[in-house]
Amino acid sequence: MASKLAGERTAKVAAATRAYVTLLAGDDGESFKAVVRLAESLRMVGAEYPLAVAVLPRVPESHRDMLASQGCIVREVEPVYPRGNQCAMASRYVVNCSKLRVWEFVEYERMVYLDAGIHVLENIDELFELEKGHFYAAELDPPYFNSGMFVHEPNVVTATALLDALRVTPPASFLEQDLLSMFFKDQYKPIPLDHNLVQAMLLGHTEDLQLQKSVSLWGEKLPQFGCWLTAKAAVFAPQNLLAMATIAASSAAVGVIHNAANPAICFGFYTVFIAAIATITIKLRGM
């Protein structure tokens, strides 16, 4: 059974040896709402395992209480400061590097890390059944992978080694992603891009969209692509989130209905999706 550690606030959920995990770093409302949406999306797809939320010290008590009431397991962690953190991008580096703390959640045998901006559209519990002893993430340009979603096995030795490696790693645009790619180069195994697809892939590889389970949408303009609704999870930018989701649904429906063999089925799916967006909108306005 999972032990209750200091600084951890546990909602009324059954102890588990597996969990989804995300990071909440600040006191801004947008980041908090993103985590709430992630938790809600996991519930909507019937995820078997709870969502653990690693929170930095500046996260308000009210936000922690709200997450616990939503069934999340809230645990405070100390921020991780990278080498040379006096640079202009220091605050972003602290947020990104603090996700390394999820390796310290040793009461869990396996976890699936999800960036807070992810919205899960379909059950992804199968990720917990992957062969043990490896680090799994969606591939970018080999040997690099996308660190916005990964499957890991918490371990004190690994956690310490990662923090030690960070201390000698110079700042880079994607610091924690570069670090993880180097650190796990021998243990890494790719999972299909359909679990965590970046928006740019939609523009350059539209032929692969039939199998998408996860889509990263960055920026305010969305392309019209017909198979977006087959995604299992989507990463939305914090700006204009609801507008982006509605535009995405509309663009997707237009493309799907235009290209699909059975437009009636696609139109029905589109209608359900719009209803879900409307429900989320009402809930967020009430927060």
Which domain range does residue 219 map to?
194-285
- Picking from 191, 223, 256, the residue at the C-terminal end of a domain is 191
Question: Quick one: which of 287, 257, 280, 258 has its CA closest to 269?
Answer: 257
Statement to judge: residues 36 and 111 lie in one domain? yes
- 72 and 210: one domain? no
**How confident is the model at residue 16, as a pLDDT?**
78
- Domain count of the fold of the chain: 2
Please indicate, yes or no, whether residues 128 and 207 belong to a single structural domain of this protein: no
pLDDT of residue 235: 57
**pLDDT for 117:** 84
Strand order in the sheet with 8-10: 8-10, 73-76, 51-55, 18-24, 110-114, 145-152, 135-139, 188-191
CATH code, 184: 3.90.550.10
For residue 144, what pLDDT is reported? 74
Q: What number of residues does the chain have? A: 287
Predicted TM-score (pTM) of this structure: 0.70
pLDDT at 279: 52
Catalytic residue among 4, 12, 33, 99: 99
Q: Is the pLDDT of residue 159 over 90?
A: yes
> Catalytic annotation on 99?
yes
Q: Answer yes or no: do 148 and 72 share one domain.
A: yes
Last residue of a domain, one of 191, 212, 232: 191
Q: pLDDT tens for residues 56-95? A: 999 999 999 999 999 999 999 999 987 665 454 566 678 8
Residue 171 belongs to a domain = yes
145 in the same domain as 279:
no
Q: Cα(123)–Cα(114) distance, rounded to whole angstroms?
A: 13
User: Could you say which of 160, 175, 191 is where a domain stops?
Assistant: 191
Query: Does the pLDDT of residue 106 top 90, yes or no?
Result: yes
Mean pLDDT of 99-115: 96
Read off the pLDDT band of 37 (50, 70, 90): very high
Q: Tell me: the pLDDT tens digits for 176-197?
A: 888 898 899 999 998 876 665 5
Per-residue model confidence (pLDDT) at position 120: 84
Q: Are residues 162 and 270 in the same domain?
A: no
